[in-house]
Structure 1
Amino acid sequence: MVSRVIPVEPFDLIIFGGTGDLAKRKILPGLYRRLAAGQMPDGARVIGAARGEMDASGYRDMVREALETFVPEEDRDADSIDTFLALLDYVPIDAKGEAGWPELAALVRKDVVQAYYFSVGPSLFGDLAARLHKHEIAGPQARIVVEKPFGHDLESAKALNASLAEHFNEDQIYRIDHYLGKETVQNLMAVRFGNMLFEPLWNAQYIDHIQITVAETVGVGGRGAYYDKSGAMRDMVQNHLMQLLCLIAMEPPSRFDPDAVRDEKLKVIRALDPVLPHHIVRGQYDALGEEPSYREDAGDPKSRTESYVAMKVHISNWRWANTPFYLRTGKRLKARASEIAVVFKETPHSIFDNEAGSNRNVLSIRLQPNEGMNLDVTIKEPGPGGMRLVTVPLDMTFADALGPDVEEVPDAYERLIMDVIRGNQTLFMRGDEVEAAWAWTDPLIEGWQQRGEVPKTYDAGSAGPEDAMMLMHRDHRRWREIKP
């Protein structure tokens, strides 16, 4: 199978924070890969804008170094790199002042797609939007891309949305969540809504429960001071896990259209029940050898911020009544893995011996690493000796299933940036979606703060606190093993 690469229209992409870590690690390497794949047209330009004083030549040198660092050697081509660097320009700019804005206005073209990537802290979003408007740089079809966090709570999210809405319409604002750019996440919609096989079974009658896991092996490290003000709930659950929950639980949209999809996601968030205190477990990783504990990383020996959270969630609608969703995410766990597991109910009556009772159908969707899907099915073990049942996976690892001729699965940022240029908002969060997520999250955070709860410690390299295991055991269920 050979994948198709469809070039986008000519564009100007302006990266505010163009010398920052995200630009060097993800945005610029992603754009280079799109050029190497033939998706960026000859008329594309990328303009870095940041506080640092340098000229276009200095910026190209910096980007060349970033590509050599963050793009694997086998993916680099000298001619392609030279072609990419020739598309670059740079403007020193003051986000809160007037310096650099006239120069940027002179560079940006009015007759091509304009995309403004705010790869900066949220405190600067309003300033950048205001100056793009004041200097009449952004045209009526311009798009802005904003990174999370989309606020710290409901109040700040509303203020952030309002500051952007002063100068841009909602259909011009692209709130990027890289999890939604993963190939498997989009394939989840294709599997659900493009195949008759699953959708009739996608409900409380046939599904016992659903597990969503996002596990990381890294700690908070040098981000400790920042992370300690957010924690796993704000950093992961409110956005990444919430979006995965919406896609797995939403009703079929009337069409594959940005607002139709996001309308259905919003309904899921608004149907979420409040989570009971005994259905939430919070944890902090402990020290392991020379590796510091969370509190040491955070620089606060009394910190009550969680590096791990697990919870049992219910959705109050006809499709999911009484079907639990178990969410967990954490730092310094045993493996780096992101997975959605749809666990189907047992057969209502087994015609085989009791050994069949432990065999369930499980659809597992792996987001990282090795993106793909498995469906566990029960078959007879080959050979003589009676009807012995075993569970085997039907494997759909993309790299294996699609063959060697298919283009390597693009990084999430590559796909999402190209969607911005196309003007496709399907995989981006809408303002009311963000606010609804915070409206559900805030009471949970306020609740454990009022109760003075201290997170449970867990061993680094483990699967998390023992209390999280008990959360499942009380329901006679078990977490799936966290595998690399």
Structure 2
Amino acid sequence: MINRATSALLLFGATGDLAKRMLLPSLFALHEDGLLSPGLRIVGTARSELSDEAFREMAREALAEFLPDDRKDDAKLAGFLDRLSYQPLDASKTEGFPALAQKLGDTSGGLAIFLSTAPFLFEPTIAGLKSAGLAHEGVRIGLEKPLGNDLASSCRINDAVASAFSEDRIFRIDHYLGKETVQNLIALRFGNMMFEPLWNAVGIDHVQITISETVGLEGRKGFYEDTGALRDMVQNHMLQLLALIAMEPPADYDAASIRDEKVKLLRALRPVRAAEMVRGQYGAGAVEAAAVGGFVDDLGEPSDTETFVALKAHIENWRWQGVPFYLRTGKRLAERRSEIVIQFKCVPHNIFAERGGKLVANRLVIRLQPEEYVRLQVMAKEPGLDRSGIVLREVPLDLSLTEAFAKARRRIAYERLLLDLIEGEQTLFVRRDEVEAQWRWIDAIRKLWVDENVELKRYPAGGWGPNAAIALTERDGRSWND
């Protein structure tokens, strides 16, 4: 049983971009709203040689840049900065960890660690924590991706972490799971009687998941060249969304029940065939009316790394037999969008046909970003006397989550995830068997790319990817929701 009390939070990578943009603003928001215990200390560590005061000044500048204006409160900012301290550390060497432990002081009251480092540093970091007595039963650890780049390397990292921390003290982070709209998937499915009876192969024709970006490399050259779209987006975010959409109803809303159902679903994924996948790389084009170069131009050297992936996935169980799940993600696409589309089947008989009424199957669109909404497209009759026939038209039933909960405090994903890490709540974190099921499926795709010599197709920046991705749905008589 985890001791839920925590007296300190240790941030690895505390001078990095993630800390400045997300972690420090999230922690300040929690502090401002009184959600952090008064005695919680926040200790940052990284290679940079900074004093406590220099770290606080760096944090002050980051908050000035990344906090919205309406959240800036000088009095509360001073109180937050007083929580902060810093200890330089080269995590690749165990020699510096005793000084880190000394800086933390007594951790018997509980310690939460947020570990955001390069994959090659996971093993020496865990060894250093163990050697300094910072892996005892009162310590839990949050692991930011990437957790390896294939199943073998992921297992090595997980084995290293498991040598010091039991599974109930390991919090693997996928920030998509902290998004309000993603959590609303569970509420939408299991809190509304109207959906669950149709949420299967009888009622649903197909499902689409799209995560599109307009940006290119944006300072991530080395990482992206070694990773690519499949491992950067599909292995974690998209498969987690797929699992939440398609899993069986859990017995309870708790970590064990939800993660048990997700892993069953991930293990039921059928291996993807060569004809069911498209990999692409963006070339020069225009995004939002601005000319941009191609991936090779941005990288500065030739590359066969994919910046776009489209897949047709199948789930081999009773609920989803025969229902395709189309997944699509890429960089330098037409717009920034994360959404799930549930395409229902048509009604079995059109009673309006002889009067000229044409029916379109219902469609449920769940938009995660940039807007947050749930939109159900339903058929309605246009007003009129109908002497020349009945005219039916699609109309949207819209729930704007932004407007419906306008008075509620909107929180970014890391606020929830950091608070859950501090308090020991694992529901929105990923278990080891989930990660390994995801990697097995992804590794099989990458092996097929090599075995079948799957071609890397070019596409101009500013579109929706290679033409082959359009054909992936069109040859099934379906279309992407563009």
Give the TM-score normalised by the residue count of structure 1. Answer: 0.94
* Residues in 2 aligned to 1:298 and 1:271: alpha-carbon distance in whole angstroms: 37
* Residues in 1 aligned to 2:247 and 2:462: alpha-carbon distance in whole angstroms: 34
Does residue 81 in structure 1 map to residue 77 in structure 2? yes
| C-alpha displacement of 1:188 | 0.5
| C-alpha displacement of 1:357 | 4.3
| C-alpha displacement of 1:99 | 4.5
Corresponding position of 1:305: 305
Alignment of 1:452-463 (within 5 A): 452-463=453-464
* Residues in 1 aligned to 2:218 and 2:84: alpha-carbon distance in whole angstroms: 33
| C-alpha displacement of 1:383 | 4.2
Asked if the contact 1:91/1:100 (under 8 Å) is kept, the reply is no
Corresponding position of 2:344: 344
Partner of 1:376, secondary structure, is strand
Q: In structure 1, what residue type is equivalent to 2:331?
A: K
Does residue 396 in structure 1 map to residue 404 in structure 2? no
Corresponding position of 1:32: 28
Corresponding position of 2:162: 165
Asked if the contact 1:210/1:341 (under 8 Å) is kept, the reply is yes
* Residues in 2 aligned to 1:464 and 1:337: alpha-carbon distance in whole angstroms: 14
| C-alpha displacement of 1:287 | 0.8
| C-alpha displacement of 1:132 | 1.5
Partner of 2:371, secondary structure, is coil
Identity of aligned residues (%): 49
Does residue 381 in structure 1 map to residue 377 in structure 2? no
Does residue 63 in structure 1 map to residue 20 in structure 2? no
| C-alpha displacement of 1:10 | 5.1
Alpha-carbon distance change, 185 to 54 in structure 1, aligned in 2, over 3 angstroms: same
* Residues in 2 aligned to 1:140 and 1:476: alpha-carbon distance in whole angstroms: 56
* Residues in 2 aligned to 1:183 and 1:356: alpha-carbon distance in whole angstroms: 39
Does residue 251 in structure 1 map to residue 254 in structure 2? no
Alignment of 1:177-326 (within 5 A): 177-288=174-285, 290-301=291-302, 303-326=303-326
Does 59-68 or 132-141 show the bigger shift?
Answer: 132-141
Alignment of 1:402-481 (within 5 A): 402-403=405-406, 405-407=407-409, 409-481=410-482
Q: In structure 2, what residue type is equivalent to 1:459?
A: P
The number of residues matched between the two structures is 471
Partner of 2:219, secondary structure, is helix
Partner of 1:425, secondary structure, is coil
Does residue 113 in structure 1 map to residue 110 in structure 2? yes
Does 291-300 or 206-215 show the bigger shift?
Answer: 291-300
* Residues in 1 aligned to 2:265 and 2:66: alpha-carbon distance in whole angstroms: 37
Q: 1:394-433: per-residue Cα shift (whole Å, max 9, x none)?
A: 1111121123x211x2101111111112211111111111
Partner of 1:228, secondary structure, is helix
* Residues in 1 aligned to 2:51 and 2:357: alpha-carbon distance in whole angstroms: 69
| C-alpha displacement of 1:176 | 0.3
Does residue 372 in structure 1 map to residue 404 in structure 2? no
Partner of 1:34, secondary structure, is helix
Does residue 133 in structure 1 map to residue 130 in structure 2? yes
Does residue 94 in structure 1 map to residue 90 in structure 2? yes
Alpha-carbon distance change, 378 to 73 in structure 1, aligned in 2, over 3 angstroms: same
Q: 1:81-100: per-residue Cα shift (whole Å, max 9, x none)?
A: 11111110111122122444
Asked if the contact 1:93/1:99 (under 8 Å) is kept, the reply is no
Q: In structure 1, what residue type is equivalent to 2:181?
A: T
| C-alpha displacement of 1:9 | 5.4
Give the TM-score normalised by the residue count of structure 2. Answer: 0.94
Measured on the aligned residues, the alpha-carbon RMSD in Å equals 1.6
* Residues in 1 aligned to 2:357 and 2:345: alpha-carbon distance in whole angstroms: 13
* Residues in 2 aligned to 1:94 and 1:224: alpha-carbon distance in whole angstroms: 23
Q: 1:183-211: per-residue Cα shift (whole Å, max 9, x none)?
A: 01111001111221211111000000000
| C-alpha displacement of 1:111 | 4.1
| C-alpha displacement of 1:69 | 1.1
Corresponding position of 2:360: 359
Q: 1:114-169: per-residue Cα shift (whole Å, max 9, x none)?
A: 11111111211122222222111233031111111121111111111111111111
Does 327-336 or 189-198 show the bigger shift?
Answer: 189-198
* Residues in 2 aligned to 1:436 and 1:209: alpha-carbon distance in whole angstroms: 23
Does residue 72 in structure 1 map to residue 68 in structure 2? yes
* Residues in 2 aligned to 1:109 and 1:197: alpha-carbon distance in whole angstroms: 53
Asked if the contact 1:45/1:88 (under 8 Å) is kept, the reply is yes
Partner of 1:413, secondary structure, is helix
* Residues in 2 aligned to 1:394 and 1:331: alpha-carbon distance in whole angstroms: 31
Asked if the contact 2:6/2:112 (under 8 Å) is kept, the reply is no
Asked if the contact 1:313/1:327 (under 8 Å) is kept, the reply is yes
Partner of 2:134, secondary structure, is coil
Does residue 15 in structure 1 map to residue 8 in structure 2? no
| C-alpha displacement of 1:384 | 4.2
Partner of 2:15, secondary structure, is coil
Asked if the contact 1:224/1:299 (under 8 Å) is kept, the reply is no
* Residues in 2 aligned to 1:43 and 1:9: alpha-carbon distance in whole angstroms: 11
- Could you tell me which runs of 5 or more consecutive residues in structure 2 were left unpaired when the two chains were aligned: none
Asked if the contact 2:210/2:337 (under 8 Å) is kept, the reply is yes
* Residues in 1 aligned to 2:6 and 2:130: alpha-carbon distance in whole angstroms: 22
From 46, 51, 56, the equivalent of 2:47 is: 51
Q: In structure 1, what residue type is equivalent to 2:343?
A: V
Asked if the contact 1:175/1:429 (under 8 Å) is kept, the reply is yes
Partner of 1:300, secondary structure, is coil
- Could you tell me which runs of 5 or more consecutive residues in structure 1 were left unpaired when the two chains were aligned: 1-7
Q: 1:210-241: per-residue Cα shift (whole Å, max 9, x none)?
A: 00000000012432232122111111111111
Partner of 1:229, secondary structure, is helix
* Residues in 1 aligned to 2:422 and 2:121: alpha-carbon distance in whole angstroms: 23
